[in-house]
Structure formats: C-alpha cells, structure tokens
Amino acid sequence: MDYDRFLSIVAREAGVDAAVAERATRDVVVTLAHRIHRGPLAEVTRHAPEPTRGWFSPKYPRETFDDEEFVRRVATAQEVDVDSAARRVRAVFYALSRAIPADALDPLVAELPKDFDPLLGPARRPPPPWPVGEFLDRVADRAGVDRDIAARATEATLEILAERITGGEVRDLIHELPVELHPPLERGRGEKASDGLARKMTLDEFVTRIAERERVPAEVAREHARAVLSTVRDAVLPKEFHDIASELPRIYVEELCYP
C-alpha cells in the first residue's frame, strides 16, 4: 500500500486531516517501537509504506506498559486529550491491518495483551470465516475503491481463482470464506472439467479473464486481484493459503498474493 493511501485511511478513521494523520502515525508507531521486540518490528517494517519504516526501529531499553500508558504517551506527543489520542491509535492500527499482511502483523499483535484489544480492532485477526463486510472493507481499502466495486472485484477474482485451482482446494476455500462469497467459487468450480483439475492459464490470462468479468481495463483488474488475493491470504488459515499458493506459478504468488 502506498503512503498516501495509508494516510487517507488513518485520516478517515480518526476524523483528522492528512497532516495530523501523518503525525499520529509517527507517534503511534514510535510508541509501539518502545513496546515490541525487534523480530516482529522487523517483519512489519518490510511491508510498511516506505516513509514509515524508520519509525519502526526498535527502541532501547524495551519497555512494558499497558494500553492506558500507550494512549497517554500518544496523547502527550500529540498534545491532545486521551479520548482523541485513543481514536488516533485505533485509526493507525486499523490502517496497519490494511497495509500489512496478517501473517506479518500477527506476531507483533500477539505481544500485546488482551487489554489492547479495543485499540487493535481488526489488527487482532479474527478466526475464519470472517464477516463478509470485514473481507470487502479490506479489499476496498487495499484497492482504493468503494465497497460496491470491491464486491465486484472479489466476485470476479474468486470465480477465476476457482477455475485456476483444483476442485479440492476450492472446496477447502469455501469452508474458510464467508458464505456470501461461496457463489463465485461455486461458479468457477462448475466451469472445470468433471475431474475438477486446475485450468492452466498464464498470469496475463488470469488477469484478462478477471477484467472481462469486471468490465475494467487489465491494469485495473490486476490491482483488484492483488487486493482480493492478499485479503484471502489474511482471511484463511495459513496452511490453506499455502496449499492454494502451491498450485499457482511463482509469478502469481509474487505479483498478486504477496504484494
């Protein structure tokens, strides 16, 4: 996710302008860097928008403090009351949940006790299946579109994905995604031969087929597919996503699943 999109999410969720969102992001991340071990910080840094990466540098000595102290430190840095600071903290964690793959963010979040949950929101990944709204909201934020477009992109991408992987993997995916997303997977599975084998297609063919269903240019479809597949990666169990990725050529995984 690019920096401007990240800041727009923070600004929207906190109800502030872009300049305040940028300062809030810095102060929340720097406070977090005092609280978290080097390893989880390094993993998140690899995926964070470029201008934020220096803020994730671990601070020494590492400190252990609770959620109230976390918010108090942000409030002091921002020169605002604790309620305003808490909104900004929640907004930054929300944006991180959109920008950082869940399997990279999970170890960082796991270091924070349950008292932090009201601040973390969707950064504390729920078990599958997710509510469909959470899935579509992540797609929308990652693609920079509204939820209606996110829903169309999701339907198109899942349908073509279901054609591209084996019938058994489609069945497993259906068990882990919200029921509202089952129809495109069923349609894609129905397009296969009766043996349920994967239908081979190049990455360009995959994107073109999505573009045709969405009725958008190929470059737009590629961005939408990236948002959908990275959200699938977050929404299912790691083993299930590994099984799906193992059926796809490496270029699919690098271009679309791990942006």
Of 123, 145, 163, which residue constitutes the final position of a domain? 123
Residue 194: the pLDDT is 52
* Same domain, residue pair 229 and 155: yes
Q: What is the total count of domains within the chain?
A: 2
Residue 195: the pLDDT is 57
* Same domain, residue pair 11 and 107: yes
Residue 255: the pLDDT is 87
- What the block records as the tokens of 112 is 């924070």
* Same domain, residue pair 247 and 137: yes
Q: Containing domain of residue 90, as a range?
A: 3-123
Strand ranges (DSSP E) for 84-181? none
Cβ(113)–Cβ(70) below 8 Å = no
* Same domain, residue pair 113 and 229: no
For residue 249, CA distances in Å to 33, 96, 110, 120, 203 come to 37, 28, 32, 35, 8
Distance CA(172)–CA(218), nearest Å, equals 29
Taking only the tens of pLDDT, the chain with its 259 residues reads 899 999 999 999 999 999 999 999 999 999 999 999 999 999 999 999 999 999 999 888 889 999 999 999 999 999 999 999 999 999 999 999 999 999 999 999 999 999 999 999 999 988 889 999 999 999 999 999 999 999 999 999 999 999 999 888 999 999 999 999 999 999 998 866 555 677 888 999 999 999 999 999 999 999 999 999 999 999 998 888 999 988 888 888 888 887 6
Of 123, 151, 182, which residue constitutes the final position of a domain? 123
Written in H, E and C, the secondary structure of 61-97 is CCCCCCHHHHHHHHHHHHCCCHHHHHHHHHHHHHHHH
Of 96, 24, 31, the closest CA to residue 63 belongs to: 31
* Same domain, residue pair 163 and 104: no
Distance CA(200)–CA(245), nearest Å, equals 14
Of 216, 197, 105, 96, the closest CA to residue 157 belongs to: 216
Distance CA(188)–CA(160), nearest Å, equals 6
Distance CA(79)–CA(161), nearest Å, equals 49
* Same domain, residue pair 103 and 188: no
Residue 72: the pLDDT is 97
CATH number at residue 171: 1.10.490.110
Which H helix or E strand runs over 58? none
* Same domain, residue pair 148 and 196: yes
For residue 136, CA distances in Å to 131, 180, 185, 232 come to 9, 11, 16, 10
Cβ(51)–Cβ(3) below 8 Å = yes
* Same domain, residue pair 14 and 111: yes
* Same domain, residue pair 21 and 110: yes
Task: Using CB atoms within 10 Å of the CB of residue 118, give its burial: 0 to 12 exposed, 13 to 18 middle, 19+ buried.
Answer: exposed
* Same domain, residue pair 249 and 217: yes
Amino acid identity of residue 103, one-letter, is D
State pTM to two decimals.
0.87
Residue 192: the pLDDT is 60
* Same domain, residue pair 147 and 217: yes
* Same domain, residue pair 71 and 94: yes
Of 82, 97, 123, which residue constitutes the final position of a domain? 123
